[in-house]
């Protein structure tokens, strides 16, 4: 009689994506001769963003080991303050050195997650989540900041359809936790049907400013939004404006209130 094997914590495809993303970001950094290059539209330089990734990857690896690492209270403002405090305490800004740190801690994350049960709960800066969602969080975070550095250095970015698919578990988990204080204060009410072209479909329903994510819309959607995958990711992470995406034909919207589509990303505050 065969003994059922315990489900692996992080699927090999996701572990590989984490390792590949770290190495591709490292390649971008190894080509950088000046970490002081500013990231367009951001407060950080390339060196500061890379230093933040080293710290974040190290934090995620510790969480994957099962160690608690307090880091803000999950609100965007608190996370920004924690980021600033941690960055001020870490002086390394050499892109080549930071490249190795990003890879080192991504590898450490995969090694730490591999032997643990999939349902292990980790207390993260964005709340409690299981290990597969934490891995999705790590990938999402690396790709967002990797994109920033690639743009600043005029290098090809590392986001593609497959990567976005692997980021969706975290993005779906994070949405209710990342609702903007303005959205909550305005007591927003609407049901959005979100579809990633060629991929997943899910709904985000706001009731008095609080968001709930479900696989299917719980009622007739007010606004259906269909987005090209990379555009969906960049919009979700605040790296592209809805107007540019609409004008470029990368998203389309319809429904009883299609005019809600351009304002959807603004309902959230990206930490």
* Domain assignment present for 153: yes
Q: What is the pLDDT of residue 69?
A: 83
The reply to whether 131 and 201 lie within a common domain is no
- Per-residue pLDDT of 9-62, as tens digits, reads 789 999 999 999 999 999 999 999 999 999 999 999 999 999 999 999 999 999
The reply to whether 75 and 203 lie within a common domain is no
The reply to whether 109 and 31 lie within a common domain is yes
Q: Is the pLDDT of residue 5 over 80?
A: no
Q: What is the pLDDT of residue 4?
A: 40
Dihedral, CA of residue 191, residue 195, residue 123 and residue 159, to nearest 10: -140
Rounded distance, CA 133 to CA 152, Å? Answer: 29
The reply to whether 35 and 74 lie within a common domain is yes
The reply to whether 22 and 152 lie within a common domain is yes
Q: What is the pLDDT of residue 6?
A: 53
Q: Is the pLDDT of residue 213 over 60?
A: yes
The reply to whether 21 and 143 lie within a common domain is yes
Rounded distance, CA 90 to CA 15, Å? Answer: 27
The reply to whether 157 and 25 lie within a common domain is yes
The reply to whether 138 and 185 lie within a common domain is no
The reply to whether 52 and 102 lie within a common domain is yes
Q: Domain of 71: which CATH number?
A: 1.20.120.450
* Domain assignment present for 168: no
**Mean per-residue pLDDT over the chain, rounded:** 93
- Per-residue pLDDT of 101-152, as tens digits, reads 999 999 999 999 999 988 889 999 888 999 999 999 999 999 999 999 999 9
Question: Total structural domains in the chain?
Answer: 2
* Domain assignment present for 5: no
* Domain assignment present for 23: yes
Q: Is the pLDDT of residue 155 over 80?
A: yes
Q: What is the pLDDT of residue 1?
A: 37
The reply to whether 150 and 202 lie within a common domain is no
Percentage of the chain beyond pLDDT 90 is: 81
Q: Domain of 206: which CATH number?
A: 3.30.1050.10
Tokens of 38: 């500013």
* Domain assignment present for 3: no
Rounded distance, CA 163 to CA 261, Å? Answer: 24
The reply to whether 114 and 233 lie within a common domain is no
The reply to whether 19 and 150 lie within a common domain is yes
- Per-residue pLDDT of 72-109, as tens digits, reads 777 777 888 888 999 999 999 999 999 999 999 999 99
Domain that holds residue 27: 12-162
* Domain assignment present for 174: no
Domain boundary residue, one of 135, 162, 189: 162
**CB 133, CB 169: distance < 8 Å:** yes
* Domain assignment present for 169: no
Mean pLDDT score, 189-218: 96
Domain boundary residue, one of 100, 135, 162: 162
Q: What is the pLDDT of residue 2?
A: 38
* Domain assignment present for 59: yes
């Amino acid at each position: 009689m065969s003994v059922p094997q315990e489900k692996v914590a992080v699927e090999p495809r996701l572990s590989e994506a984490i390792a590949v993303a770290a190495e591709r970001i490292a390649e971008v950094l190894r080509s950088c001769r000046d970490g002081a290059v500013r990231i367009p539209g951001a407060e950080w330089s390339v060196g500061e963003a890379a230093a933040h990734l080293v710290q974040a990857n190290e934090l995620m690896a510790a969480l994957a080991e099962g160690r608690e690492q307090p880091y803000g209270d999950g609100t965007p403002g608190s996370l920004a303050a924690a980021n600033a405090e941690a960055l001020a305490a870490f002086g390394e800004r050499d892109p080549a050195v930071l490249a190795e740190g990003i890879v080192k801690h991504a590898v450490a994350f995969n090694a730490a997650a591999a032997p643990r049960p999939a349902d292990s709960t980790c207390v993260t800066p964005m709340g409690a989540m299981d290990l597969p969602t934490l891995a999705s969080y790590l990938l999402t975070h690396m790709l967002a900041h990797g994109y920033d550095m690639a743009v600043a250095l005029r290098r090809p970015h590392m986001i593609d359809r497959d990567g976005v698919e692997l980021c969706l578990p975290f993005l779906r988990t994070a949405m209710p936790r990342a609702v903007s204080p303005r959205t909550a204060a305005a007591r927003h009410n609407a049901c959005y049907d979100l579809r990633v072209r060629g991929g997943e479909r899910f709904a985000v329903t706001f009731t008095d400013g609080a968001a709930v994510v479900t696989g299917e819309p719980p009622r007739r959607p007010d606004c259906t939004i269909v987005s090209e995958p990379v555009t969906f990711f960049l919009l979700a992470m605040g790296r592209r404006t809805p107007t540019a995406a609409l004008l470029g034909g990368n998203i389309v919207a319809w429904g009883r209130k299609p005019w809600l589509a351009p304002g959807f990303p603004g309902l959230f505050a990206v930490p």
